[in-house]
Amino acid sequence: MKRTPKEVEDSARLVTRRGAVLGGVQLLFMGGLALRMRQMQVEEADEYRLLAEENRINMRLIPPARGVIYDRNGVPIADNSQNYRIIIVREDAGDVEEVVRRLKRLVPLDENDLERALRELERRSPFVPVTLADRLSWEDFSRVASNAPALPGITPDVGLSRHYPMAEDFAHIVGYVGPVSDYDLSRIEDPDPLLQIPKFQIGKVGVETKLEDRLRGKAGTRRIEVNAAGRVMRELGRDPGIPGVDLQLTTDWRLQNFAQARLANESAAAVVMDVETGDLLAMASAPAFDPNKFVRGISSRDYGELTANTYRPLANKTVQGTYPPGSTFKMMTGLAALKAGVMGPEETVWCPGHFQLGRRRFHCWKRGGHGHVSFDKAIVQSCDTYFYEASRRLGIDPIEEMCREFGLGERFDLPISAVAEGLIPSVKWKAQVRGETWRPGDTINASIGQGYVLTSPLQLAVMTARLATGRKVMPRLVKSIDGLETEIAPTEPVNVPAHLMEMTRRAMYRVSNSDRGTARRSRIVEASMEMAGKTGTSQVRNITAAERAAGVFKNEDLPWERRDHGLFVCYAPFDRPKYAVSVVVEHGGGGSSAAAPPARDILLFALYGGIPPVEAYPSDQRERMRTMYEELVLRDPPDPGPSRSRA
């Protein structure tokens, strides 16, 4: 149909209006786009340039060198060794199986470690490096490095790993490090970013964990350029960070090694303490374990062997173990009674071999009794009946107060795991904790270190040091931090009259040196080094009336776990005390036979600074001691390692 001229004209005007509108919209859009582009390129250019740089530059943390731990002589007992390892990058390796097959021809690879590494390789991005093997020998490391062109994706690398050159000797004191776990992170409110690094290691027990924050140091940083996929292109710079502080402990590696060797084949503990400074020179817990096995992650088999051992090698018996102190406790009961005036210094008690309290009979260890016994004789011959009577007159609370004066029942602030408080009972304690009334029989049991009383070898060493000096010496384990000496706690006199302290020391001297003393067989005959001490035997089982009537079983006739604990505390030289020693032998039998001999040997080693001459022993023991020392396996001096400058 033919359109009229008017229709053609109207249609042309409509198209022109639409074109104008569309053109206007296009112009408006282009104008807005141009304005936005100008704003981004000119006015906001610096902001977008910074964002681009931040996307391109990443910061990576560099683990700092962990602080070294030394003994009092500057010998390293926890240091950092070079760790030669092999790293693989999956995208560079291509055929991973083929590369690993070639690698196994060059160096031995642990199949379990290799399997874990390959699983990790599959989980991670192809450009992330994964450790295939570590702790290689220099020869194996060099062999891989020289064959690197034939091993695509393989990189020999060198890092630092914790090393314990004294192995078992300091395991319970220093502890060990291990990889950060989810449990570790859950206990920390504001975790250090370092802890997020895969396989980063922190202290797990001992000094390593108690002083973790200071030993760890501060992280360094690497500035690296990455592409859009996150792949590292190049390193732009690095800050090495700040290494952890170096610690020097009060312990002596030679004495510690000797104490561990002397207690071998026993479940036992020994503590050696400087009576003037409180320095802990040795804290041996036997048996021990090799902390180096925990650094990489101990195998299930090795860990199972440790946990299944009835001698409990993982427990630090010096501070964690608490035992009835037996007769080593009698000085506390006696001093409390003498100070309170309920017993006179020369007063005697009749010992027929037992003590009657109502209808209950408490037996003395000597079935026939000791006859008339004074305080001195009661300590020397370890008569139980004297202390039964003293405690009956006195009551438990004055005994508890005396124990606090000498450090029993106190949890000392040392950087070691699981330091126990022990237990010194009182009337109030039993009412609050057990909801029961204190009974006179409880006091009788406590008077000879049985019943509820529990003490640690550390506490017994502190008690002995305070008996030797008459001052409240405090134990110290850290000698210096980064070369700065730590404070020696000021001491004050114990609240006991001097003449009673001297009476107690004389009695302890006679324990070791008189004809009737319970530790005479373990005396020191060198006049300048004579020892004062006290034996102790603590029961771990009840003796029935029927057994007592028929004859009490000898310890050697009982299963190991039912035998008595043997204890001994001592100090020397008697006239100018220098060192105090406590020894506990679990289920060892009598204190005089099980604990006194090793305590005497450890004390002599400390006094002489090495293997003591056999002339310090009674003449009838010298040949036996000479043979024992010839057969004793001691450690050679560890490599001092490289010094580290902190400039």
Residue with tokens 């079983």: 553
Specify burial of residue 188 (Cβ count, 10 A radius: 0-12, 13-18, 19+). exposed
What distances in angstroms separate CA 342 from CA 335, 364, 438, 467, one per listed residue?
Answer: 11, 21, 20, 21
Name every residue whose Cβ is closer than 8 Å to that of residue 216 and which is 6 or more positions away in sequence.
Answer: 64, 66, 67, 192, 194, 202, 244
Specify burial of residue 78 (Cβ count, 10 A radius: 0-12, 13-18, 19+). buried
280-286: strand order across its sheet: 280-286, 268-274, 579-585, 565-572, 532-538
> How far apart are the C-alpha atoms of 8 and 169, rounded to whole Å?
110
The sign of the torsion formed by the CA atoms of 10, 11, 15, 16 equals negative
User: For residues 428, 429, 430 and 432, what is the CA-based torsion angle, rounded to 10 degrees?
Assistant: 80
> How far apart are the C-alpha atoms of 416 and 548, rounded to whole Å?
42
Query: Which residue out of 267, 285, 327, 391 is catalytically annotated?
Result: 327
> How far apart are the C-alpha atoms of 566 and 518, rounded to whole Å?
13
What distances in angstroms separate CA 104 from CA 158, 269, 273, one per listed residue?
Answer: 19, 46, 52
Specify burial of residue 422 (Cβ count, 10 A radius: 0-12, 13-18, 19+). buried
What phi, psi does 480 have (nearest 5°)?
Answer: -155, 155
Q: Is 327 a catalytic residue?
A: yes
Angle at 424 between CA 519 and CA 567, to 5 degrees: 20
- Residue 340 tokens, joined: 């309170």
Within a 10 A sphere around the Cβ of 239, how many other Cβ atoms? 13
Query: Strand ranges (DSSP E) for 10-128?
Result: 57-62, 69-70, 76-89
> How far apart are the C-alpha atoms of 49 and 575, rounded to whole Å?
81
- Residue 467 tokens, joined: 């008996």
Task: Give the three-state DSSP class for 481.
Answer: strand
- Residue 273 tokens, joined: 């303490």
Candidates 377, 394, 380; CA nearest to 343 is: 394
Radius of gyration (C-alpha) of the chain in whole angstroms: 37
Candidates 286, 322, 309, 300; CA nearest to 170 is: 286
DSSP 279: B
Catalytic residues: 327
